A and B are shown apart, each in its own frame.
Chain A
């Protein structure tokens, strides 16, 4: 099946630890995105990538890092510098970043800091 796969679905992290969320797509899309969702805040953009080996910061990039070494993969690392990482994280992709292209979402990952 074509789509976007995020893993793990649930993740617990101790304070001070880095953690990486995986996102893989087989839609042959050039553009990929990471959004964070908190209650009452909607979806906020963390990072996005228009093409392999390129990515840009979104509105809330502090404490996060990404890489785009392969077209199909866009992992997100939540570092210990992220002060409040507990949230629901959504990965998405679209054929290009050009306006009007439909964005497809993965099923999301829950991260809880314990």
Chain B
């Protein structure tokens, strides 16, 4: 069974600074995908970034990038130049084979002006 662990229930960052959210996972599959979703106060789930496990290069989407350490089963999210609109719950998730996404418990990020 897959598991996803987010060890930081809450974090805060000053506007324009950089913050890193941690995520570890466990899976017995050889090929899998990892995701970060953002849930703002509106509760709409928004895909931030995804990573294919067989790709060595870390995924990047504008101010969002990941540090994927396959051997350590670690998948952290770095947000650069934090903006007030980045305030949200962030969920790490993984899927593999023919099973639905498994989510971590989330990290609540507050961006402070």
Q: Does A58 contact B (CB under 8 A)?
A: yes
With beta carbons under 8 angstroms apart, the residue of B29, B32, B95, B104 that contacts A42 is: B104
> In the complex where A40-B9, A99-B97 touch, is A90 in contact with B105 (Cβ < 8 A)?
no
What CA separation (Å) do A90 and B39 show in the bound complex? 12
- Contacting B at CB under 8 A, from A15-60, are 31, 33, 35, 40-45, 48, 50, 58
Q: Does A97 contact B (CB under 8 A)?
A: yes
Q: Which residues of B contact A (CB under 8 A)?
A: 6, 9, 29, 31-33, 42-45, 47, 50, 52, 91, 95-106
Taking CB atoms, residues of chain A closer than 8 Å to B44 are 105, 107-108
Taking CB atoms, residues of chain B closer than 8 Å to A103 are 47, 100-101
Interface centre among B45, B47, B91, B96, by most chain A C-beta atoms within 10 angstroms, is B45
| Nearest-Cβ distance from residue B99 to partner chain A, whole angstroms | 7
Chain A residue at minimal CB-CB distance from B43: A108
**DSSP majority for the A interface?**
strand
Taking CB atoms, residues of chain A closer than 8 Å to B101 are 33, 45, 103
Q: Does A99 lie within 8 Å of B95, measured CB to CB? A: yes
Q: Does A58 lie within 8 Å of B100, measured CB to CB? A: yes
Taking CB atoms, residues of chain B closer than 8 Å to A84 are none
| Nearest-Cβ distance from residue B22 to partner chain A, whole angstroms | 15
What CA separation (Å) do A107 and B44 show in the bound complex? 5
Q: Does B100 lie within 8 Å of A100, measured CB to CB? A: no
Q: Knowing that A40-B106, A92-B45, A99-B98 touch, tell me 9 more A-B residue pairs with CB under 8 angstroms.
A: A42-B105, A42-B106, A48-B100, A88-B43, A99-B33, A99-B95, A99-B99, A100-B95, A107-B43
What are the 8 tightest A-B residue pairs by CB atom distance, in nearest-first order?
Answer: A105-B45, A42-B105, A43-B103, A100-B33, A42-B103, A48-B100, A108-B43, A99-B95
| Nearest-Cβ distance from residue A102 to partner chain B, whole angstroms | 6
With beta carbons under 8 angstroms apart, the residue of A45, A88, A90 that contacts B100 is: A45
What CA separation (Å) do A48 and B102 show in the bound complex? 12
| Nearest-Cβ distance from residue A22 to partner chain B, whole angstroms | 17
What CA separation (Å) do A40 and B10 show in the bound complex? 10
